[in-house]
Amino acid sequence: MKYKVVHYINQFFAGIGGEEMAGHKPESRKGFVGPGQAFNAALAPDAEIVGTVICGDTYFADNLEKAEKEVLDLIASFSPDAVVAGPAFNAGRYGTACGAVCEAVRKNLGLPTVSGMYEENPGVDMYRKSTYIARTADSARGMKDAVPAMARLLLKQLKGEPIGKPDDEGYIERGVRVNFFMDKIGAERAVDMFVKKLKGEPFTTEYPMPTFDRVPPNPPVADMKSATIALVTSGGIVPKGNPDHIEASSASKYGEYSLAGVMTINSSTHETAHGGYDPTYANDDPNRVLPVDVMRDLEKEGAFKKFHETFYATVGNGTSVGNARRFGTEIAQKLKDANVDAVIVTST
């Protein structure tokens, strides 16, 4: 029995048309279409392309959730064992769609997936943790190399064979750590590495340190008396009921909430969405994390000119650096646009 594989491609590779046809709605066809022929050959004899799902890049980008569901349903209708998407080379919207499809297939159908992209395709950063992405050239001229690499990665997953390191297997590093048993115990590896480092010989660390983005603090506010001050928190304080459904950990969003006319907050108006600490005291009096009461007092006393009546909140609990950086950039821009002079950021 052959493994059944569904191929996801865009309107261009399906031969429907270029940019003018990018609004093409999702459709499915039996068997292979376009580059699917090469995949069908590369997957033989263990697997075959049983169906192709096609969607226009603009349609996918403009109707993200809807398109993803439509594509997923079409894929599921073939009852496949695996999905291959692309390759998208350096086409940004196509790469993003391929990544999103692979992620959705993995999450909802639990099937192995593979895509192929040029390393600078924005789809790489967004989806490499969710799927194997074969490293390809930046244009369709690289199809000849991309197909066998992608087919090999898919077959290995289908057969449950171990997939080696990124450079050996030709995929883009996913940033996912996997355990394995080595030949030597850790202590011996450490002393081996130590001797090499002392001798000035090359060695390879087993865990390359992530680089932390260190931000130098701004100079102190020169004139507090005429300053507008805002509150921002990663402590998860949100209006009661958490209207934006900010996640308890690994937050994917932040909230923007009004404090117009609000002199203090309490357990009936606000709560914490944070799942990484004992919430008892924060819920009991949310001013402990988001000190609205004290800010209002200081405003009245004239310690600064004005308390900015919008606060921003997210949950800093296992939240990825990528998301945190995006939140920070967006929030800072909004504060600047509102002529805020300084901000107090509270954590937990």
212 contributes a contact to other proteins by CB under 8 A: yes
- Tell me if 263 contacts other proteins by CB under 8 A: no
Length of the chain: 348
Would you say 48 and 154 are in contact if contact means Cβ atoms under 8 Å apart? no
Among 45, 201, 205, 261, which residue sits at the site for other proteins (rule: CB under 8 A)? Answer: 205
Instruction: For the CB of residue 316, give the shortest distance to other proteins in the complex, in Å.
Output: 13
Site string for other proteins, 290-329 (x = CB under 8 A): ----------------------------x-xx--------
Q: By CB under 8 A, which span of 78-86, 94-102, 183-191, 277-285 interacts with other proteins?
A: 183-191
- Secondary structure (H, E, C), 87-143: EEECCHHHHHHHHHHHHHHHHHHCCCEEEEECCCCHHHHHHCCCCEEEECCCCHHHH
Dihedral sign for Cα 83, 86, 92, 93, please: negative
Cα–Cα distance list, 276 to 228, 250, 251, 288, 335 (Å): 31, 10, 12, 16, 27
**Residue (11 or 157) nearer to other proteins, CB:** 157
Tell me the C-alpha distance between 82 and 67, whole Å: 19
| Residues touching other proteins, count (CB under 8 A) | 41
Please name the helix (run of DSSP H) or strand (run of DSSP E) that holds residue 29, with its range, or none.
strand 27-30
Q: What is the DSSP letter of 231?
A: E
Q: Using CB under 8 A, which of 65, 160, 177, 225 touches other proteins?
A: 177
Query: Which segment (38-46, 78-86, 204-212, 218-226) binds other proteins by CB under 8 A?
Result: 204-212
Select from 29, 174, 288, 305 the one that contacts other proteins (CB under 8 A): 174
Q: Shortest gap between Cβ of 248 and other proteins (angstroms)? A: 15
Which spans of this chain sit near other proteins (rule: CB under 8 A)?
Answer: 129, 163, 165-166, 173-191, 193-195, 197-199, 203, 205-212, 318, 320-321
